[in-house]
A = this chain, B = another copy of it.
Amino acid sequence: MGNKIHAEVLSELGSALAPERVLTAEADRWSYSYDASFGVYPPECVVQPISTEEVVALVRIACKHNIPLYPRGAGSCLSGGPLPVYGGIAVDLTHLNQTLEIFADDLVAVVSPGVKTGDIQKAAERYGLFYPPDPSSSGISTIGGNIAENSGGPRGLKYGVTRDYVLGLEVVTPEGSVLRTGGRTVKNVTGYDLTRLIIGSEGTLGIVTKAVLRLLPKPQARRTMLAVFSDLVQSGRAISKVLTSGILPCAIEIIDQACLRAVEAFRPGGLPIDAEAVLLVEVDGHPAAVEEEILQVAEICRQLGSVHVEIAKDEQTRERLWFARKQISPAIARIKPTKISEDATVPRSQIPAMFARLKQIREKYAIDLVVFGHAGDGNLHPNILCDMRNQEEMQRVEQAVSEIFQAALELGGTLSGEHGIGTMKAPFLSWEVGEVGIDMMKRIKTAWDPLSIMNPGKIFPEPGNDRLVLRQ
């Protein structure tokens, strides 16, 4: 593919949208050539539709001329989801952001794909309601991107992920029809669950133009604590004990020693840099319940060997406790120029085993590997710090990443908990879903998108792509 955007196509796009929302200048093409993962792939042109009708017209033009479409939201994807790997048209959906309506009595929000997730959370709160999914990027990421990647976040433990809060969708199909899935009710078994087929399909099955989201009553209170462990395995046991004691925290985050040291070096604040692990636990709900539950969690942590427990007394202390967690990404990014953020996820009982495997991998390949993540739901973020320009190092990193995937799968886990497959993990897909899984997924892709117009080059392994995480 490539070099398909000739004058006729541009003229059709300009008539269907508006000439000023069809961009071909080199600076524009480069602005849409990357996401938060790796690789730079400039599209041949960028379009900025503002309505479902414009998306329909766009898709029909792309079909007519057989041009690949690369939908994108804010571009904060960590797996290469929006990268225009075969050129074609980048579809910037951030301008399709007109609708953000809260229907408080129905506990429902109706949103356009370009609306920022954080803005949905704020709008819901004004009605005493709550949109639980909280990817760390929620301040900038769009709900459309969250739906494409089925984004998670710390609250996944108690509240699940984006998938659990989407009731219905309007989708422009790869052939330019308007499909409406699901509806406004939590209960709906009318035909196949196309809503959840679209969620997490990374823009390969259509373009979402509207979403109906489920909201919850906003929890009235929350309490937060931090527990320091000199032994990582004991912290894993504490997590299990909490979860089998009738308490379901909204977050249990883990921070390993390497992360603690990186944060302390970045913004000194007295973190326990000799600890093997720190757990950050938050409970939410009824004030009386959280008051008692946070004390129970503290007691369990102490019983299982925590050397220090601190319960936040007020919002200010809570923010200080979360500060360390939130500084990890910037702190570790300072260590070396390249940061590879993984999201291998294991059944939560396997967290200590996964930490042991990660330690072996770090030593075997002599790499800078730090670990933090959402321990309560088994979703770890091993991060490798390296230098893309150092080819010898990158070869070791490639092997290490591949071994991290292998370890997660051997422990009963998954390649990707919340970042998606995109380009980065596509070569490894068969390791998890098998040839039968790929076959059944591809049958859907082919049946829905016979021309392979929608985001080609993603999810499925491509010939010649020999299990390389970092395609240049």
Cα A84 to Cα B399 with chains together (Å)? 53
- Contact yes or no, B421 A190, CB < 8 A: yes
A247 to B: closest C-beta gap in Å: 6
> With contacts A184-B413, A413-B185, A417-B189 known, is A129 near B244, CB below 8 A?
yes
Question: Would you give the shortest CB distance from A85 to chain B, in whole angstroms?
Answer: 18
Interface residues on A, range: 35 or more
A292 an interface residue at 8 Å Cβ cutoff? yes
- The minimal Cβ–Cβ distance linking A231 to chain B, given in whole angstroms, is 17
Q: What is the copy number of this chain in the assembly? A: 2
Query: Quick one: CB contact mask for A364-397 with B, threshold 8 Å, 1 for yes?
Result: 0000000000100111000000000000000000
Candidate in A191, A293, A433 with the most chain B CB atoms within 10 angstroms: A191
Chain B contacts of A94 at CB under 8 A?
Answer: none
**Residues 149-170 of A at the B interface (beta carbon under 8 Å):** 149-150, 152, 156-157, 160-161, 163-164
A436 vs B244: C-alpha distance in the bound complex, in angstroms? 46
A interface vs B, CB < 8 Å? 103-108, 127-129, 149-150, 152, 156-157, 160-161, 163-164, 173, 177-181, 183-194, 196-197, 199-201, 205, 216-220, 240, 243-248, 285-286, 288-289, 291-293, 343, 345-349, 374, 377-379, 412-421, 425, 429, 432-434, 436-441, 443-444, 446-448, 459
Other A-B pairs beyond A192-B459, A285-B285, A285-B286, 6, CB < 8 Å: A105-B243, A128-B245, A129-B244, A149-B189, A286-B293, A443-B444
A-B contact pairs, 11 of them (CB 8 A): A152-B187, A163-B193, A164-B164, A185-B346, A186-B377, A186-B378, A194-B441, A216-B248, A217-B243, A285-B285, A288-B289
